[in-house]
Amino acid sequence: MRQRSVRSLVVLLILFLGGIGLLFTRPDVIPGLTSRAANTWVVDIDNWRRTPYERVVLSPYDFSVDRDLGQLPLAIGAWKGQEVPVTNIEVFILLEPEQLVQRKYTLPDGRYVWLSLIASRRARSFHPTEICYISDGWQTSVESEEVPLEQGSIRALRVDAVKDSWRHLVLYFYVWPDAARDLGRGVVMFKVTAPLWEDEEQTLQLEKDFIREFFTQVLR
């Protein structure tokens, strides 16, 4: 009887240790990758259809629509952020987003970018960024742009918008919880906008450096 009890305890101990092993090898924490990686997300440049640029990426942040995106930190690396009030009430009426975050992030040298996050489970909440510029009289061009991460790279849609003496460069893409891309679980549009700093190349580099603070590595 005593030997049987000892065997039972050994079996339970093995199962317990095995469970701990599963916890440390769950898919959102992958051994051998940077410790900053905490969550996996699927990103793509189109929210209506899959493109060859769809990638699974790692991020230290949670972009779940069920979470308050306003909890994303205002201090990220050397960047210091501040909330920018959304004064255009038509955005809420027409798009009906579940969440809309708008911030300005500034570096110590004074250069800055704007971060816009739109989170929703409704298809009507999303439209190409250039539409807003065109409706306000800007001239735009659109193409895809490679964004290198710590490992691998993703693609963003790049919008070049010009009006009078103003020029904005925009990089944006969409973020899903997984490869199913189920709208019912929500999707987030991640958009970075900057005025022209010195020249086009340096401005784009600034935006890519900022994106790398949020997304670190490509898995596939």
DSSP string, 108-131: TTS-EEEEEEEEES-GGG---HHH
**Structure pTM?**
0.79
Rounded CA gap, 85 and 103, in Å? 8
Cα–Cα dist 216/219, whole Å:
10
Interval 76-94: pLDDT, tens: 999 999 999 877 666 655 6
pLDDT digit string, tens, across residues 97-154: 789 999 999 999 999 999 999 988 887 667 777 787 888 889 999 999 999 999 999 9
Q: Which amino acid is at 21?
A: G
**Is residue 215 exposed (0-12), middle (13-18) or buried (19+ Cβ within 10 Å)?**
buried
Distance CA 73, CA 176 (A): 20
